[in-house]
Amino acid sequence: MKKLLILLLALCMVASLAACGEQSGNNNNPGNNTTPRVGFTFTYKGTKIAINDDAAPIVAALGTPMSYTEEASCAFDGTSKKYYYGSFYLETYPMDGKDLVFGFWFVDDSIATEEGIYIGATQPQVDNAYGAAAFNGINAYTITKGEDVLTIILEDGLVSSIQYQLALG
Tell me the per-residue pLDDT of 2-32, one tens digit each, with 9 for 90 and over. Answer: 343 333 333 443 344 344 433 333 333 444 4
104-163 tens-digit pLDDT = 999 999 999 999 999 999 999 999 999 999 999 999 999 999 999 999 999 999 999 999
Radius of gyration of the chain, Cα coordinates, nearest whole angstrom? 15
The number of C-alpha atoms within 13 Å of 38 and in the hemisphere containing its C-beta is: 9
CA 61 to chain centre: 18
**Would residue 38 be called left, alpha or beta, if left means φ above 0 and alpha means ψ between -120 and 50 degrees?**
beta
pTM: 0.78
Residue 73: per-residue pLDDT: 79
26-81 tens-digit pLDDT = 333 444 445 567 899 999 999 999 999 999 999 999 999 999 999 887 878 888 99
